[in-house]
């Protein structure tokens, strides 16, 4: 098992290239199951979750090849030989549930294990199942698997009204609806850029979709989808994470490929805290505007609100801000597990249910800490940039699920950071 060692050594300066979006790519990959023709994704991130999804698709009979050093994924599902997504693969990653809708739409039947992933709350899949039932699917939960069957003649269009916003359920329903007979309307749909990216890819494959990026998406089902080539959208969570680095450590960093429209609420919040964010053809450039970072209150919300996937990283910043901040986590329960580790570094954090009160300190202290999930792991690395002495972050296998070449990217702008093998 590996650890990452960070030693605070002052301001950062330079450019960090931002990868394609993990959450978008993990949704786009199962779209290959909808067509017999090839689907090629460019600007793919090189992450362990992508490898897990590759293994899952291959287990179903899809062909998946990583080209151009992993930046291109060439896929073909012309000869699927299975409809079962086994627990041994699915348990590693919650996004595995996204093969359910495409398999059901294409084959008329599917058996998919209930998923695993980061331990940040229940995140039930019932909204996925309700959405597919609205399209005529018959579902049974048995022995930890979802057994799904489409009616004779395939799925049929219907009205899917989500009781609350769910990105994954919107994605599963959207893919299934492309091959359903008639019109499907998704109400209270997720509006994230990843949803828009999926709709663009599906449209390039011949789907008829309107309203992606709004709360109401309408899909007119077609008989078949064809092949396409699609570029994965920029990873807004990686973008936001590295935008915080110069605010924590000082200096000025340009995030190559960054776009403000992907993170408007986040940009507004860090500007309120004292950041300067400027946009150019190259990307976004971030630095402290004047003086130290100030305390701000943060509420996580579905897009276009402040992303829950940037809450842990924002807490790391606010640990050294002037004043007291309150962070309210409104998307997932159990998502303050990084707080005790930050406290080990001298942070003042008080957690009560879905609220965390953070009182800034003058300087964090380096300490051995443990990553509890993907975003928590990178928040501890960010905190290490601002800490006095050495911070050793353990269990960084979480990090490999969502950030490629994190050591190289931060070292490239001047951070003192290395990855080491733990003894034993």
Q: Using pLDDT thresholds of 50, 70 and 90, give the confidence band for residue 243.
A: very high
Helices (H), 18-73: 22-28, 48-59
Using the predicted structure, report yes or no on whether residue 373 has a pLDDT greater than 90.
Answer: no
3-state secondary structure at position 303: coil
pLDDT tens digits for range 326-338: 999 998 777 898 9
Closest CA to 313 of 239, 251, 363: 239
Using the predicted structure, report yes or no on whether residue 64 has a pLDDT greater than 50.
Answer: yes
Q: Quick count: other Cβ atoms within 10 Å of Cβ 141?
A: 12
Tokens of 100: 């359910």
123 has binding-site annotation: yes
Counting residues of the chain whose pLDDT is more than 90, the rounded percentage is: 88
pLDDT tens digits for range 36-45: 999 999 999 9
Mean pLDDT of 101-120: 82
pLDDT at 119: 41
Mean pLDDT of 64-73: 97
Q: How far apart are CA 226 and CA 195, in angstroms?
A: 20
Q: Quick count: other Cβ atoms within 10 Å of Cβ 360?
A: 19
Tokens of 161: 């009204």
Write down the residue that tokens 């030693």 correspond to. Answer: 7
Residues 6+ apart with CB under 8 A from 68: none
Q: Using pLDDT thresholds of 50, 70 and 90, give the confidence band for residue 424.
A: low
Largest CA distance in the chain: 66
Mean pLDDT of 227-243: 98
Closest CA to 412 of 259, 242, 275, 289: 242
pLDDT tens digits for range 7-57: 999 999 999 999 999 999 999 999 999 999 999 999 999 999 999 999 999
- Tell me which residues are annotated as active site: 118
Q: How far apart are CA 70 and CA 74, in angstroms?
A: 10
- CA distances from residue 167 to 20, 94, 194, 195 in whole angstroms, order as listed: 18, 12, 9, 7
126 has binding-site annotation: yes
Q: Using pLDDT thresholds of 50, 70 and 90, give the confidence band for residue 118.
A: very low
pLDDT at 123: 47
Domains and CATH numbers, the chain: 2-19+235-421 (3.65.10.10), 22-231 (3.65.10.10)
Q: Using pLDDT thresholds of 50, 70 and 90, give the confidence band for residue 374.
A: confident
Task: Supply φ then ψ for residue 179, to 5 degrees.
Answer: -110, 5
- CA distances from residue 342 to 5, 346, 350, 361, 365 in whole angstroms, order as listed: 15, 7, 11, 12, 10
Q: Virtual CA dihedral for 16, 19, 23, 28, nearest 10 degrees?
A: 170
Whether 409 and 20 have beta carbons less than 8 Å apart is answered as no
pLDDT tens digits for range 131-166: 999 999 999 998 889 999 999 999 999 999 999 999
pLDDT at 86: 94
pLDDT at 376: 86
Task: Starting at the earlier edge strand, list the strands of the sheet with 216-220.
Answer: 159-161, 183-187, 216-220, 208-210
Helices H / strands E in the chain, number of each: 13, 26
368 has binding-site annotation: no
Task: List strand residue ranges (DSSP E) for 157-250, in order.
Answer: 159-161, 183-187, 208-210, 216-220, 228-231
22 has binding-site annotation: yes
Tokens of 297: 């209150």
Whether 364 and 388 have beta carbons less than 8 Å apart is answered as yes
pLDDT at 124: 65
pLDDT at 116: 55
Tokens of 324: 């007291």
127 has binding-site annotation: yes
Using the predicted structure, report yes or no on whether residue 122 has a pLDDT greater than 70.
Answer: no
Q: Using pLDDT thresholds of 50, 70 and 90, give the confidence band for residue 121.
A: very low
pLDDT tens digits for range 352-371: 989 999 999 999 999 999 98
81 has binding-site annotation: no
pLDDT tens digits for range 247-304: 999 999 999 999 999 999 999 999 999 999 999 999 999 999 988 999 999 999 999 9
Counting residues of the chain whose pLDDT is more than 70, the rounded percentage is: 98
What's 288's DSSP letter? E
> Mean pLDDT, the chain, as a whole number?
94
Closest CA to 118 of 403, 406, 399, 314: 399
Whether 398 and 263 have beta carbons less than 8 Å apart is answered as no
């Amino acid at each position: 098992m590996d650890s990452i060692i960070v030693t605070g050594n002052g301001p950062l300066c330079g450019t960090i290239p931002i990868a394609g979006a993990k959450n978008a790519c993990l949704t786009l990959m199962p779209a290959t199951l909808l067509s017999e023709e090839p689907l090629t994704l460019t600007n793919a991130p090189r992450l362990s979750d992508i490898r897990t999804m590759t293994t899952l698709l291959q287990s179903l009979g899809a062909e998946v090849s990583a080209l151009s050093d992993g930046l291109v994924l060439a896929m073909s599902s012309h000869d699927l030989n299975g409809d079962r997504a086994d627990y041994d693969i699915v348990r590693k990653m919650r996004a595995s549930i996204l093969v359910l809708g495409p398999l059901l739409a294409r084959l008329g039947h599917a058996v998919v294990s209930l998923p695993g992933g980061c331990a940040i709350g229940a995140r039930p899949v019932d909204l996925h199942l309700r959405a597919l039932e609205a399209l005529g699917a018959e579902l049974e939960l048995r022995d930890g698997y979802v057994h799904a069957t489409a009616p004779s003649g395939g799925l049929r269009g219907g009205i899917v009204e989500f009781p609350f916003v769910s990105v994954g359920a919107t994605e599963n329903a959207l893919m299934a609806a492309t091959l359903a007979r008639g019109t499907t309307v998704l109400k209270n749909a997720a509006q994230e850029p990843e949803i828009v990216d999926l709709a663009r890819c599906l449209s390039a494959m011949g789907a008829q979709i309107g309203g992606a990026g709004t709360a109401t998406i309408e899909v007119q089902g077609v008989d078949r989808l064809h092949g396409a080539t699609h570029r994965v959208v920029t990873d807004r969570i990686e973008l936001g994470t590295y935008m915080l680095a110069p605010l924590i450590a000082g200096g000025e960093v340009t995030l190559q490929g960054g776009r403000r429209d992907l993170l408007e609420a986040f940009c507004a919040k860090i500007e309120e805290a004292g950041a300067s964010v400027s946009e150019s053809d190259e990307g976004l450039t971030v630095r402290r505007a004047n003086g130290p970072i100030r305390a701000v209150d943060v509420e996580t919300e579905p897009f276009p609100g402040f992303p829950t996937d940037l809450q842990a990283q924002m807490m790391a910043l606010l640990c050294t801000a002037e004043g007291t901040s309150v962070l309210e986590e409104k998307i997932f329960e159990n998502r303050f597990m990084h707080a005790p580790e930050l406290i080990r570094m001298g942070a003042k954090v008080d957690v009560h249910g879905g609220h965390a009160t953070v009182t800034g300190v003058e300087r964090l202290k380096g300490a051995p800490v443990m990553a509890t999930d993907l975003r928590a792991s990178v928040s501890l690395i960010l905190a290490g940039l601002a800490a006095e002495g050495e911070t050793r972050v353990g269990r960084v296998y979480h990090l490999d699920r969502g950030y490629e070449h994190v050591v190289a990217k931060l070292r490239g702008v001047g951070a003192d950071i290395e990855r080491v093998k733990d003894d034993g």
